[in-house]
Amino acid sequence: MKKFKKAALAAALMGMALPMAAPSATAEDTNPFFEEWTTPHGLAPFSQIENADYMPAFEKAFAESRADIDAIANNPDAPTFENTIAALDKSGKLLNKVAGVFYNLTGSHTNPEMQEIQATVSGMFSRHNNETLFNKKLFDRVDALYQKRDSLDLTPEQARMLWRTHLDFTSAGANLDEDAKAELAKLNEEISGLTTKFGRNVLGATNAFEMIVENEADLAGLPDFVVAAAAEMAKERGHEGKWMFTATRSSFTPFMTFSTRRDLREKLHKGYMARGAKGTEFDNTEIVKDILQAREKRAKLLGYKNHAEYQMADRMMGHPDRAFELLNRIWEPALEKAKEERAALQEMVNSEGGDFELAAWDWWHYAEKVRKARYDLDEQTLKPYFVLDNVLKGAFHTANKLWGLTFKERTDIDTYHPDVRTFEVYEKDGSYLGLYLTDHHARASKRGGAWNNSFRSQKKVDGVATPIVVNVMSFPKGSGDVPPLLSADNVGTLFHEFGHAMHTLMSDVTYDRMNSMAWDFVEFPSQIFEGWAWEPEVLRVYAKHYKTGEVIPENMIERLEAASKFNQGFATVEYVSAALLDMHWHTRSIADDVDVAAFEKQVLDEIGLIDEIVVRYRTPYFNHAFGGSAYAAGYYTYLWSEVLSADAYATFAEEGIFNQDVAARLRHSILEPRGARDPMEMFEEFKGREYKLDAILEARGLTD
């Protein structure tokens, strides 16, 4: 998940900035961004917004934000929390409005023209950010307040906001001399441009790879829903009557799981893994090197040893050494488990008369066979029970049972794509909480993966704002009389992102800035929500066969529980290897002559990754690490958050999965405060003690 932050100041955390350009001569009366939106709940009037509206809107928004910042910096009155810190939070309204729409759509519904605008605007944000955080008058006001913070009689939220704002300035180089500031500004702009280009290349490489199947015999082993989705994809891309498989996870994984054509599995696997590789059309290897070198220069300029130290200065982990310690403690038992799983898969290969050693493109296929043999479960058996709309209703049911929330669909609200659905969310007492959007299906205009974002954050200062939240995913569509069906992995993804949405919708902070959290805390509230997806009581609500309406049988629920720890060695190793690769990239100096593929191999060899498992993200398409995301030197955060979520969910397991007291405590201690409190204090308040690793090791079956 990526959450937009206050554009005028917290752009520092996003690698953004502000320009000095004057507004374009484009007529303001035709630009929807310059009007007050009277749409339901203030959602953007998407059908009225054209690509040509963005640049004039950004130019005017940056100019207005610059004026807001200058007014605060040049205020002749002595600095106070209200005229400095709160004023910063209120600044840049138009910039927030424009960026909130634009950056949501560059991920979920982009086009070449928007990509060109994005490349330009990223530099504008970088310049604006530098001008804001290098403004000496402004920093002097913030610093003056920070130095006397103990005597200001601030609320706990205000005190944390002052600390956070001061850290924004100091970590961005506000204390540097003028020459160093100029160098830092140049590096920030360079990094912003490079990461934008990296992400565009990943999208381009993903869309460019197509494996077209012309002969029906080559579909051997694939269930009907996979074949139907492939036919629909081929039709959409101009190959009607054929079948297409792409480098999106929703297309890749089913084929790798079910296809009995080993040669085609190998072809798809190699195509997927080669995205962005050296010598390809969308070669990202030089960009990776340039990003890493620029990030290291920036970190050292700011007094840090490397980018990882710089990134983790305000995170729960605090230092790269602690992240390495966590990852290594999980890695060792996970690798041993993966080796046991490898032996079982090879045994299955041998039992079927396969005259070959298990390869990376075989793992999904034979894992499915072993799971079927052990638990009489496979994707073909399960998937008919996981209808997308029903799974979403299961998530709604869970929120209702925990907190009394209800979801009312609106079909009359303008959206940015026909796939988008809109729901009003209401509290138990009937009061309105916020707007929830879903965008579930894969398409060429959307980057792969799944995430939660906001078109508007909740806040109370300067007028109450209710949140507008969107969950974006890449699930395949249905075909004919077969509705969209989800894999078990996709079910977990939907509940995960819905957990992010609940966290965002339940925000109860005064200042917009406090919607920003320590990045290695962000995934905790979403991961805990995944636990309810597999509770028998919840499964009985949403797991209904798409043809018969039959509720998932009890013996199947029992087998699901028995199989819940199956293949967790693979899943953990695949993920942790990527997290370790990310940390190694960002803690080592990268020379001009670095060979990206060789470095990657060296790291993975050092940690002992077995050949049959490929790191979840190869470096050239590792968007988390190189695509401008705050997950750079922070991909570990998913695991850290799972440590917290597993430990926290154990409380529900012990006291009742819908225990109202525990649910209220989760909302009050974790969900509502967001960034307004220290996250470790929040966790310990909920749990009643410090965290322990036992729960995650048990949940993943990594204990002896």
Q: Judge whether 496 and 450 are in contact, CB under 8 Å.
A: yes
Prediction pTM value? 0.81
The confidence score (pLDDT) of residue 26 equals: 47
User: How much of the chain is helix, strand and coil, in % rounded to 5?
Assistant: 60, 5, 35
For 50, the token pair is: 């054209």
Give the Cα separation of 385 and 221 in Å (integer).
Answer: 20
Total Cβ atoms within 10 A of residue 480: 9
d(CA 678, CA 697): 26
Q: Computed from CA positions of residues 694, 695, 696, 698, in that sequence, does the dihedral angle turn out positive or negative?
A: positive
CB 509 within 8 A of CB 157: yes
Residue 653 has a pLDDT of 94
DSSP bridge pairs for 441: 475
Tokens of 353: 């008369």
Q: Any idea what the Cα angle at residue 443 is, between residues 441 and 444, rounded to 5°?
A: 165
Q: What is the pLDDT of residue 97?
A: 96
Residue 59's pLDDT is what? 97
Strands 421-426 and 406-410: antiparallel
* Residue matched to tokens 């009995």: 260
The Cα–Cα gap between 105 and 99 comes to 10
pLDDT tens digits for range 286-332:
999 999 999 999 999 999 999 999 999 888 988 999 999 999 999 99
Beta bridge partners, 423, equal: 409, 436
Whose CA is closest to 393, among 342, 355, 336, 438?
Answer: 438
Bridge partners of 684?
A: none
Please give the structure tokens belonging to residue 293. Answer: 């070198």
What whole-number distance in Å separates Cα of residue 530 and Cα of residue 525? 9
Q: Measuring CA to CA, which residue among 492, 489, 433, 494 is closest to residue 466?
A: 433
pLDDT of residue 101: 97
**Residue 546 pLDDT:** 97
Report the sign of the C-alpha dihedral through residues 45, 48, 53, 59, in that order.
negative
Q: Where are the alpha helices (DSSP H) in 46-177?
A: 51-73, 87-90, 93-108, 112-133, 136-147, 156-171
**Spatial separation of the C-alpha atoms in residues 142 and 343, rounded to whole Å:** 60
Rounded Cα–Cα distance for residues 468 and 34 (Å): 20
Give the Cβ contact number of residue 374 at 10 Å: 13
The set of catalytic residues is: 497
Write down the pLDDT at residue 20.
Answer: 33
φ/ψ region of 417 (left if φ > 0, alpha if ψ in -120 to 50, else beta) reads beta
Tens digits of per-residue pLDDT, 386-427? Answer: 999 999 999 999 999 999 999 999 999 999 999 999 999 999
Q: Can you tell me which residue has the tokens 């504008």?
A: 124
Q: In which residue ranges of the chain is pLDDT below 70?
A: 1-28, 704
The torsion angle over the Cα atoms of residues 304, 180, 131 and 123, rounded to 10 degrees, is: -80
Q: Which ranges of 506-622 does DSSP label H, i.e. alpha helix?
A: 524-533, 536-542, 554-562, 568-585, 596-607
CA angle 576, 582, 587 (to 5 degrees): 125
Provide the token pair at 84. 């400095």
Contact in structure between 686 and 665 (CB atoms under 8 Å): yes
Distance (Å, rounded) from C-alpha 501 to C-alpha 457?
A: 11
DSSP output for 235-281? HHTT-TTSEEEESSHHHHHHHHHH---HHHHHHHHHHHHTTT-TTST
Cα distance between residue 578 and residue 625, in whole Å: 10
